[in-house]
Structure 1
Amino acid sequence: MKICVCIKHVPDTAANIKLAGEQGFEDSECKFVVNPYDEYGLEESVSLVEKNGGEVVVVTVGKEAATATIRSAMAMGAHRAILVKTEGQFLDSALTCKALKAAIEKDGTPDIIFTGKGSVDTEGFQTQYRLAAALGIPVVNEVSKLTVDGSKAVMERETGSGEREVVEMTLPGIIGATKGLNEPRYPKFPDIMKAKKKPIDVIPLSDLGIDEGAGKSVLVKLEATPERSGAKMLEGSVTEQVAQLVKILKEEEKVI
């Protein structure tokens, strides 16, 4: 069984992001990690291969610094990796999927492709759908339970309001993993050391015949989230507080 896991090199959600101009951010001192949702897909793929044999191939599109994140994925059990190297910080989902498709097809068609349900940085939630359309294979996202039997996968996914649906899919296909599918392992020191020797095939985006500037969307401007102002305590009776609140919303905040 061959499984590809698409992972993204993203800033830690606890990192302090500093903007650099209008279209980028300082990334030299920012801590990066494997996109948390991708870890569920990675753990599931490693568990499947441990039971059934085969290999797990990590596929990443990003800057050269993403090799550190790839090594973390290898320490979790991935056997080898492909890095499609780009120069910019942001690549739109259409171009990302084009790069992923080219890299995966060049390496050989896998039985399963895992992704996370979405990334915690740009939160576009389009990659798995675009990739499935490009490859001509089925996709199921937000999977929280999975059983693989030969060329068939049976999954459970949340549909909202606490309800779940069961989906059966013929492989090969793409599975978008989410929290609850498993509990990602913490690599041990020997695994971290072994990961340093595992192969990473670095492919410049241009070598796949893809122009980095040919995306379908353009990042116009990044803006920091405005800091919240201090809380204002209202005093008096309930009637007086309501009157004060309405006045603030109308005259100061201008929302009514």
Structure 2
Amino acid sequence: MSTEYVLEDRSHGHARARIRESANKVPEVTVYFWIIKVLTTGMGETASDFLAHTLGNIPAVGLGGLAFVASLVLQFAVRRYVAWIYWTAIVMVSVFGTMAADALHVVIGVPYTLSTPLFMIALAAVFALWYKSERTLSIHSIRTRRREFFYWAAVLATFALGTAAGDLTASIGLGYLGSAVLFAVAICVPAVAHRAGLLGAVTAFWTAYVITRPLGASLADWMAMSKADGLGWGLGPVTLAWTVAILVLVGYLATSRRDVGTA
């Protein structure tokens, strides 16, 4: 637990400090965290495409934006980490982040070769502002509103960056399966580098976090797309299957509390 001091004005003109306890607002990083994270990225990719094809790009972005805002309002409203609220917000970030990245390419016509570095710059800017303000990028200390704001800004930027990067690799000839293999290998690099003492824990975490987005999206696209490019299972069925998997795992964590820290 951490302590946040909030000044209150009293009728006698003096300011007194009220101590308010605030728990960490994000889950512990376990194997379940990474599995659900990859599942949310894939589900967000196919759900975004399914909504765009069903409703049209503009209505889908509007609906996704409303759901995204509502989920974050709920996440900010609670005082501690709640599994279903947190992962609902992650799913909505995944869906809306995918829509935002796709809208730049499909609606505005920005090529992936440009949007990928643009999102990379945006993420770097979020990290720079976060570190300048808080002197840390660790997710183990998300106990204030300001740190939570920076955290979700970084999460949204990672989803947009990962979407653009995954689409870029798929468009240059690797295809969805080839891209999935590439990112599966890539996600091992920060883990190995950290174990070897070549990369700090915070840098390794955020590097792997970015890579989960194109990894999950490439796998889901490979399952959903036509047999010329994938397995041909369809956007709707793949979205449903990955959603069920997410619900099962989040339900397990909500009851077992395996992802809740003791500090």
TM-score range, shorter chain: under 0.3
Structure number, greater radius of gyration: 1
Greater RCO structure (CA 8 Å; 6+ sep)? 2
Greater fraction of residues in helix: 2
Greater fraction of residues in strand: 1
